Structures are given as C-alpha cells and as structure tokens.
Chains A and B, each alone.
Chain A
Amino acid sequence: MAANPMTQFEVYRIGPEIKIGDFDISFTNSSLFMVISSLAILIIFNLGSKKNSMLPNKLQLMAELSYTFVSKMISDTAGSKARPYFAFIFSLFMFVLFCNMFGMIPYSFTVTSHIIVTFVLAGFIFIGVTIIGFIKHGFGYLKLFVPSGVPVVLLPLIVVIEIISYLSRPISLSVRLFANMMAGHTMMKVFGGFVISLGIVGGWLPLSFSVALTGLEILVAFLQAYVFAILTCIYLNDALNLHH
C-alpha cells in the first residue's frame, strides 16, 4: 500500500482539547515541533555561551559562528542602523532553520510546511517593517513607491506596480518557504513510496533518488531559512535607509 504523500502534513491534536472562547488552541504535533525547535535553539545557544574560554569548545564555536554569520548578514544587507533588530532576525533565522531541519527527521513534522505559520511570520515582518518605515521617515516613507529618475508619463504605472509589489511581499515571502518545504517533503515521500512498491528488484533507483533528495532537502532547508532572513533584512533596509 502506498501512503498518501500529503498525510505527513496533517495536524492532529496531542492531549486534550484546549479552548479559549470559540478558539481551539489545542496542543498539536505542530506545536510540539515548535516547542522542540525553540528548546533546541535555547539549549544549544545557552550551552554555547555559558563559559567563555579562549579556545572555544564545539558548542561555543557553533554559537559564535552563527552569531557572527547573522551579524555579518545584517550589516551587509541593512547596514549598521539595523543593529537593534539583530536579536529578532537572529531568532527568526534560527527558528526557521531549526524547524526546517527537524522536519528532515523521518516521521517528524515540518512546522514551516504550513502556509499559516509562514504567513504569520511574513505578515508580522511586513507590518513591523511598514511601521518602522513610517516611524523613521513619517509620510516620506511613501516615497518608496515613487522611484527617482522615472519619466512623469510612466509614473502612475510605476507607482501602482511598486505598491502591488510592496503589498505582495508577505505573500511571496511566506509562499516561498512554505512551497519549498512542502514540495521537497512531498517529493521525498513519493520516492520513498516508490521504493516500497517496486520492492527489492526496482526499488534501488528511487532509493538512490531518495538519498540524493535528502541531501538536497537539507541544503534547501538551510537555504530557505537564509533566504527568509536575508529578505527580512532587505525589507528592513528599505525601511531604514530610504533609497528611492
């Protein structure tokens, strides 16, 4: 029997049903993996920052390398003004990365393969960046939609396009992550199903595909977390340093 490749994305309740008013906020497998990812991040970085030795041990080195990696990413894309948002981007990058990576473990659940999760993250970033932009530049932030050096005739069209592209940011950001994760995991499941149904004779080809795909998916898991974080930095850069 070949399992449905989409069943891995199903959310189910763990434990009792919790309700606040009409809202169901029960603890689910998705919540479980959010908690696991957060805890893993906290434990690793707590252990990695506990004692400061001149020669760092492996955990400390990892924590410090991640710190400098994200720090460099932010200063490269958004400049020194983005320093106060470092903690947020660092948490975001780590959360997405760990959720993606935990999703790579067989029989686990990928939190970021759900559009609602990525959309909430992206929506929060979008709203936050817009608020920061208006606080920093007031109504001058609207100049973002009016690029300089554009012929006046084309201006109405350009402004409309700019506004649409700005508003579609949360959608593109969330769908990119969600679609990548979902597609990758579906593919792996499909090839895994092939291995079972083709058996010992023909199963080797999809098995080798599956192995290759696992490597690819780990790469994608990292890459998508990186893209998510770096796009956040770019949006933040638009809000902090108005270029247009």
Chain B
Amino acid sequence: MIKKIFFQLIFFNFFFIKKVFAAESGGMPQLNPEFWISQVFWLTLTFGLLYVVLSKLILPKISKNLELRKSQIQENIEAAEKQRESSESKLKEYDDIVLKSKLEAKNIFKNIREKVLKDINSKKEILDKQIDQEVKKVEEEIEVLKKSAPEKINKIAIETSSELVKKLIGAEINNSSISAIVDDLSKRNGDKYYGN
C-alpha cells in the first residue's frame, strides 16, 4: 500500500514537472543567431591555431618519438638475437671441449693402464726368473748334498762301526774290511735309505 502511494507520487510528480518545463521553455538558444558570427570566428581562430601547432610542432615530435622507439626496439631485438647465436655457438664449443677432454682422459687412462700392466708383467717375469734361478741353485745344492750324502754316511757308518767293535770286543779292526762291509750294505740297501 505504501509502495503504491510512493509510485503514484512519483508518477504524478512527473506530470507536474513536465507541465512546469513546458511552461518555462522558450525555444532553443542554438537557433538564436545573435552570437553565430562570434562562434564561427572563435572556432576558426582556436581550431586553426590548434591545427597549426599540432601539425607543425607536436605531431612530428610524437611520430619521431614513436619511430625512434620502434627502431631502438628493433635494434635491441637484433642485438639479443646476435647474442643468443653467439652464446649458442659458445655452448657448442664448450660441449666439444668437454667431449674432447673426455676422450683424451679415456685415452690417457688406457695408456697408463697398459703401461702399468706391462710393468707388472715385466717385473713378474724378472721375479719369476729370479725365483727359478734360486730354486735351481738350491736344487743343485741339494743335488750336491744328496750325492755327497752316501759317502759321508758310509764314512760315519765305518767310524761308528769301528768304534763299536773296539768298545765291544776291545780289538782293533782294519778300517778297510769294515768299509767293504758298509759298501756292500749300502749298495744293497742304498735305494731304501736315499730314495735315489
């Protein structure tokens, strides 16, 4: 209800105001020629001056600024492009260097390995030779000892036998007869004692 009254108020107010406007309005001032000449004069003056100043002073400056900036940006882009290319080539160079040095390192490693292996082999050979020689020497000594061993044993056997006989029966026996017996024994059992 209040809403209805409110809108009716607005509605009737519109009517009221429109009537007031209709009563007061007195045509368009635009059609009054009193100041036409003045307006044309001032329009020509201001617009003419505006045109002259803009076209002769300001617009060329703006266009120059724009072109300058454009060319500068173009230059910058070109410089950036160049730098990019150079950095790319440098990266390639770097990669090449890395690859090369890797290969070199591999080679050096291989060479050293071979050398070391050779060294080891040669030293081993020398050592083997030495060992062989030593072994031979020792074997020879053993051989000599082996060969001289039966005689010595025989000698010892003869001496001990003569000593024993002396102590047992108190008689001197000729060494040559004992040695003949020992020789005979050793010939018969030599294989058993010395394993020759």
Is B39 in contact with A24, judged by CB distance below 8 angstroms?
A: no
Q: Which of B12-54 contact A (CB under 8 A)?
A: 13-14, 16-17, 20-21, 24-32, 34-44, 46-47, 49-51, 53-54
Determine if A182 and B54 form an interchain contact, defined as CB atoms under 8 angstroms apart: no
Q: Is the interface of A mostly helix, strand, loop or mixed?
A: helix
Q: Counting chain A CB atoms within 10 Å of each CB, which of B14, B44, B54 scores highest? A: B54
B107 close to A (CB within 8 Å): no
Please give, as numbers and ranges, the residues of chain B lying within 8 Å of A38 by CB-CB distance: 46-47, 49-50
Number of A-B pairs, beta carbon distance below 8 Å: 156
Note all chain A residues with C-beta closer than 8 A to B127: none
User: Are B35 and A30 in touch, CB under 8 angstroms?
Assistant: yes
Interface flag for A163 (CB, 8 Å): no
Please measure, in the bound complex, the distance between the C-alpha atom of A189 and the C-alpha atom of B110, giving whole angstroms: 99
- Which A residues are in CB contact (< 8 Å) with B26? 4, 6
User: Measured between C-beta atoms, what is the minimum distance from A165 to chain B in Å?
Assistant: 25
Q: What distance in Å separates the Cβ of B53 from its nearest Cβ neighbour in chain A? A: 6
The listed residue with most A CB atoms (<10 A of its CB), out of B25, B53, B59, B69, is B59
Whether A211 is near chain B, meaning CB under 8 Å from some CB there, is no
Tally of contact residues, B, Cβ under 8 A: 49
Decide if the interface of chain B is mainly helix, strand, loop or mixed: helix
Contact call A46/B58, Cβ cutoff below 8 A:
yes
Does A28 make an interface contact (CB < 8 A)?
Answer: yes
Q: Give Cα distance in the complex from A31 to B54, angstroms.
A: 20
Cα(A182)–Cα(B27), bound, Å? 13
Interface size for A (C-beta < 8 A) is 59
Given A4-B25, A88-B55, do A95 and B9 touch, yes or no (CB 8 Å)? no
Contact flags (1/0) for A52-91 with B, using CB distance below 8 Å? 1010000010011001100000000000000000111011
**A146 at the A/B interface (Cβ < 8 Å)?**
no
B1 within 8 A of A: no
A126 within 8 A of B: no
B136 within 8 Å of A (CB atoms): no
Q: Please determine whether A67 and B46 come into contact, CB atoms closer than 8 angstroms.
A: no
In the bound complex, do residue B58 and residue A45 qualify as a contact, i.e. CB atoms below 8 Å apart? yes
A27 — which chain B residues lie within 8 A by C-beta? 38, 42
Stretch of A115-123, A149-157, A221-229 on the interface side: A115-123
Please give, as numbers and ranges, the residues of chain A lying within 8 Å of B36 by CB-CB distance.
116
A11, A41, A113, A121 interface centre (most CB from chain B within 10 Å): A11
Q: In the bound complex, do residue A9 and residue B30 qualify as a contact, i.e. CB atoms below 8 Å apart?
A: yes
- Which of A131-139, A194-202, A233-241 lies on the face that meets chain B? A194-202
Question: Can you sample 28 A-B contacts with CB below 8 Å?
Answer: A2-B17, A4-B21, A4-B24, A5-B25, A6-B28, A6-B29, A11-B34, A25-B37, A28-B38, A42-B50, A49-B62, A52-B65, A54-B69, A54-B72, A60-B65, A63-B62, A90-B54, A90-B59, A91-B50, A91-B54, A94-B54, A111-B43, A114-B30, A116-B36, A182-B30, A193-B21, A197-B13, A202-B9
A contacts, CB < 8 Å to B = 2, 4-7, 9-11, 13, 23-28, 30-31, 34-35, 37-38, 41-42, 45-46, 48-49, 52, 54, 60, 63-64, 67-68, 86-88, 90-91, 94-95, 111, 113-117, 120-121, 178, 182, 190, 193-194, 197-198, 201-202, 205
A-B complex: 7 closest residue pairs judged by Cβ atoms:
A87-B55, A31-B42, A52-B65, A49-B61, A34-B46, A25-B41, A11-B35
Given A9-B28, A25-B41, A94-B54, output 8 extra A-B contacts at Cβ < 8 Å: A25-B37, A30-B35, A34-B43, A42-B50, A120-B44, A194-B13, A197-B13, A198-B13
